Amino acid sequence: MTDSERKPTRPTPAAVPIEPSAPSGATVPVQSAASTAAPPPETVRELLRRVDAGWAEFRASAARFPSERMDEHLTEDGWTRKQMLFHIGVWHDLTTERLSKFFMSGTPVKLDSDTETINSRSARQAIGRTAGEILGDVEGTFNRLRRQLQRLTDQQLRANDAWVAEIVIGNTYEHYAEHAADVYSEPEPEPAGRRR
């Protein structure tokens, strides 16, 4: 299995998330609470803990981001934030479908299309949708994926050279960390009269 089968890549020119300019002392959440440097989880319970922590952090950042700025492009010719969020949901659903097929066959399931095609299609599908619709949809895709993950056994998680663990990690908390800067919102400056 190649890395591109496991983990989505974004098409050029939207490949690099913008780096927000954080005020001094502010921290940019570039990694989720479920650190991507940790070894793959050995149990479903640990996988769920990491997935839930990563999702909670990413979801909270996306929900706090001003909806009037969701149509802003991440790069000059790249995706909007709404397209990026929709893309997260598409990879949730693809992972859910692959796990469903894995449960029936017991063998790894390849993607039907290459990642660039999938990402381009998802960017087109997001056009014309509101930020609220997309945030609701991505929440639904996560919930569907979470239900599939609860069906896993520890043996399935580690089977086939940990194929399940790899696709879940790549399409959940590692993916959220990859896009964390895209939904980072600088704190509102305090009015001049209220500063101390």
Q: Nearest CA to 175 among 59, 28, 66, 78?
A: 59
Task: Indicate whether 4 pLDDT > 90.
Answer: no
Q: Tell the burial category of 6 from Cβ atoms under 10 Å away from its Cβ (0-12, 13-18, 19+).
A: buried
Mean of per-residue pLDDT scores for the chain: 81
Each residue of 173-189: b (16+ CB within 10 Å) or e? bbbbbbbbbbbbeeeee
Contacts of the segment 8-12: beta carbons below 8 A, 24+ positions apart: 8/87, 8/91, 8/115, 8/118, 8/119, 8/170, 8/171, 8/175, 9/115, 9/116, 9/119, 10/79, 10/87, 10/119, 11/116, 11/119, 11/120, 11/123
pLDDT, tens digit (0-9, with 9 covering 90-100), for 97-155: 999 999 999 999 999 999 999 999 999 999 999 999 999 999 999 999 999 999 999 99
Task: Indicate whether 196 pLDDT > 70.
Answer: no
